[in-house]
Amino acid sequence: AQSVTQLDSQVPVFEEAPVELRCNYSSSVSVYLFWYVQYPNQGLQLLLKYLSGSTLVKGINGFEAEFNKSQTSFHLRKPSVHISDTAEYFCAVSANSGGSNYKLTFGKGTLLTVNP
């Protein structure tokens, strides 16, 4: 079974500052990794994903994340945030079992608040 830990439940930052949202996972098999964003009262949208290949993944809205297998981490970063980035961010993992896999395990989420 897989698990995901998002170390910060809330991250307040000022506009145009850099931000890092931390995510660690545990799994006995290789994994796929995801970051989703949820704006208030809406569903989730995929920001970026790591399936294989380059460990640095670029997503929408200027976000990027780096897969670090030795540290079992997949931290999300943005060099300069905007007010519109205020949202809840979820890290998620699914097993790369080589066959069908239907279970995506989510972290508890990190609320990013960007202040002017």
Partner 1 sequence: SQTIHQWPATLVQPVGSPLSLECTVEGTSNPNLYWYRQAAGRGLQLLFYSVGIGQISSEVPQNLSASRPQDRQFILSSKKLLLSDSGFYLCAWSQGTGTEKLFFGSGTQLSVL
Question: Which residues contact partner 1 (rule: CB under 8 A)?
Answer: 4, 9, 32, 36, 41-46, 49, 51, 90, 92, 94, 99-109
**Between 19 and 47, whose beta carbon lies closer to partner 1?**
47
73 vs 107, beta carbon nearer partner 1 = 107
Q: Which is nearer to partner 1, 35 or 85 (CB)?
A: 35
CB 3 within 8 A of CB 102: no
Q: Rg of the chain's alpha carbons, rounded to an integer?
A: 14
User: Of the candidates 105, 102, 111, 95, which has an alpha carbon nearest to the alpha carbon of residue 38?
Assistant: 111
The number of beta carbons lying within 10 Å of the beta carbon of residue 30 is 11
Residue 13 amino acid letter: V
Task: At 97, give phi and psi (nearest 5°).
Answer: -90, 0
Residue 32 or 81: which CB sits closer to partner 1? 32
